Amino acid sequence: MSWDGFLNFLFLGLLVFAFIAPMSNFLVKVIFGIVLLIYFCVGFACLGGFNTSKIVSLKKVLKTEFTLYLRAFSEDTKSVKESQKPYYLGGYSNFVEKDFFKFYKNTVAVGQPGEIIAPNGCNRIYFKDLDWKESVEKMINKASKIFILICPTESCMWEISKLNPYKEKVIFIVKDFNDYIYAKKSLPNNDLLPDLPIVKTPLCYYFQKVGNLKILQFQHEIGSYASIAKIIKTE
């Protein structure tokens, strides 16, 4: 049974006990309390209460060696859903944050304003709307390695435009080739967006120190994420 199914089962049981407990004996009330406790504990875990992500401050991050992950906020929900099911059930069709960045222990991503719990994956850092661009530029400058998931958003285009001076430490992740075409049209003549061959996505590419372009394709499974992460890490 999936976590969703288990939670639904507990919720139905909770509704039944909610009608029975007030008019029943002490034992039924104890059982009602136990069911209620289990329901909220499991719900807390499913929301990410037991994940490994931490909320960090900009001041602390800039004093350490770290990897920066840039993406659209909308990708967080997709990443969590994809990582919950194996490939043979239709999962792993996108780049999965949690499975990739476990090989980069000190990876930071800007968190979505207003979210209650940070998604399971990279550490999160939060900014006010007026501060995020200046803060992201500071992190881009200080990061030892930068990963950016190309998305058709205004903020993503702005981030790509700021990466030109840091060409050799940037890894681009392409989950949809149409998103890449959109980026090329939005940022014409940008050296960081070369003419890629139309290949199977998701993929990532980066520029090696000798100036060569290297393209790595994911195979939609955890083993592929692991192998590609290790290749990039040893470059």
pLDDT at site 206: 94
Given this model, what pLDDT does residue 27 score? 65
Query: What is the model's pLDDT at position 64?
Result: 94
In whole angstroms, how large is the CA radius of gyration of the chain? 22
DSSP secondary structure string, 81-119?
HHHTS-GGGT---S--HHHHHTTSTTEEEEPPTT-SS--
Percentage helix, strand, coil for the chain under 3-state DSSP, each rounded to 5: 50, 15, 40
Query: Rounded to an integer, what is the distance from CA 8 to the centroid of its chain?
Result: 26
- Check residue 30 and give its pLDDT: 67
Task: Give the number of other CB atoms < 10 A from CB of residue 81.
Answer: 12
Contact of 83 with 123, CB cutoff 8 Å: no
What per-residue confidence (pLDDT) applies to 89?
Answer: 47
Listed in sequence order, the residues at least 6 apart from 67 whose beta carbon sits closer than 8 Å to its beta carbon are 101, 104, 106, 107, 108, 143, 144, 145, 146, 147
pLDDT of the chain, 235 residues: tens digit per residue: 444 455 555 555 655 655 555 555 666 666 666 766 665 565 555 544 445 568 889 999 999 999 999 999 888 876 555 555 554 444 555 667 877 888 888 999 999 887 777 777 789 999 877 778 999 999 999 999 999 999 999 999 999 999 999 999 999 999 889 999 999 999 998 999 999 887 777 889 999 877 789 999 887 666 777 788 888 888 7
Amino acid occupying residue 11 = F
pLDDT, residue 49, reads: 46
Q: How far apart are CA 66 and CA 182, in angstroms?
A: 29
Quote the pLDDT of residue 219: 75
**Which pLDDT does position 210 carry in this prediction?**
74
Identify the three-state secondary structure at position 50: coil
Q: Which residue shows structure tokens 């407990």?
A: 21
Sheet holding 170-174: strands in order across? 123-125, 107-110, 67-70, 145-149, 170-174, 203-207, 213-217
Say what the pTM is.
0.74
pLDDT value for 13: 61
The predicted pLDDT at position 9 comes to 57
Q: Which residue's structure tokens are 């014409």?
A: 188
What gap in Å lies between CA 214 and CA 172, rounded to an integer? 11
